[in-house]
Amino acid sequence: MNVCILSGKGGTGKTTVAVNLSVLLGADYFDCDVEEPNGFLFLKPENVVSEESKVDYPVFDKQKCLLCGNCAGACEFHALANTRQSILLFPELCHGCHACELVCKPGAISYAQRTTGRIEKGEAHGNRCARGVLNVGESMAVPVIRKLLGGLPENGNCLLDCAPGTSCNVTAALKFADAAVIVTEPTAFGLHDMLLAAELLETRGIPFGVVVNKSDGKDEIIESACTARCIPLFGRIPFSRMAAEAYSRGKLLANLPEYRAPFESIAQSIREAFAWN
């Protein structure tokens, strides 16, 4: 089973929940937030190996190219322009989708690859962990996420720590999801974006529940919304300075005596809800 951890709003604690649950559930961890992967700061994996992540870009055979411009017209991302002197390529906009090849009648297009990021794999706490890292200056996270998750084990137990929001960077990971957890916080922004994430998961038919991080013990704003929509509440993680300090030092909250029980309880709720393990 693959469980995606998402949030809508950034900074609610996806990684905090994902890394601690990875340890408690004995699940492999995949950091899909490739624009700013930070799970390894907490898991501190060993034996890390790195592999480049590449995307295709078109190369034009000038002997064959008729400068018809069909390729530029077909490019949804405006990565190509037909100046009537040559076809210009803007590699940073090219998604490597090969649409240009489909419409090139003289067959003037072949492909080369450029590196836009890397995949790192290691081991921590007896689990496999991996992350995608998008190179600075690159804007396309999805190819790196696809490559990262292309290596998901069959029949494994995996936690996929997703990007914030509900964009392509999230949906690229959701393609691999059997279930999901939304991590939110008891604020108006947390609620608003949690509902966006919930709507996304509902349209995909992915079962999910909610974890409230930075809980003040009341969490009425989240609780009432979950009750109204029949969304299960998997648990709460109390707000405290101690948690913030441990986080800022890269420590796992589940190792703090005060936080062991809340995380155990969340892990148990997830086991039951998704029939995990």
Partner 1 sequence: MKIAFSCTGTDDTARTDPRFGRCEAFAVADTETQKIAYMQNAAQSAAGGAGIAAAQQLIDAGVKGVLTGNLGPNAFRVLSEAGIKAYCIGEMSVPEALAAFMKGGLAPIGEAGNAHAGMRGGPNA
Provide the binding-site residues for partner 1, judged by CB under 8 A: 72, 77-79, 81-86, 88, 90, 93, 139
CB of 91 or CB of 151, closer to partner 1: 91
**Measured from the CB of residue 88, what is the shortest distance to partner 1 in angstroms?**
6
User: Which of 90/156 has CB closer to partner 1?
Assistant: 90
Q: How far is the CB of 83 from partner 1 (least distance, A)?
A: 4
**Beta carbon of residue 90, minimum distance to partner 1 (angstroms, whole number):** 6
At a CB cut-off of 8 Å and minimum separation 6, what does 22 contact?
A: 28, 29, 43, 125, 127, 129, 159
With beta carbons less than 8 A apart as the criterion, state whether 256 and 246 touch: yes
Of 90 and 106, the one with the shorter C-beta distance to partner 1 is: 90
Cite the beta strand spans of the chain per DSSP E: 2-6, 28-31, 46-60, 80-82, 87-89, 109-124, 127-134, 158-161, 179-184, 208-215, 233-238
Shortest gap between Cβ of 68 and partner 1 (angstroms)? 12
What is the nearest approach in angstroms of partner 1 to the Cβ of residue 59?
17
DSSP 192-250: HHHHHHHHHHHHHT--EEEEEEEE-S--HHHHHHHHHTT--EEEEEE--HHHHHHHHTT
Q: What's 91's DSSP letter? A: G
Q: Which is nearer to partner 1, 83 or 255 (CB)?
A: 83
Q: Which is nearer to partner 1, 1 or 93 (CB)?
A: 93
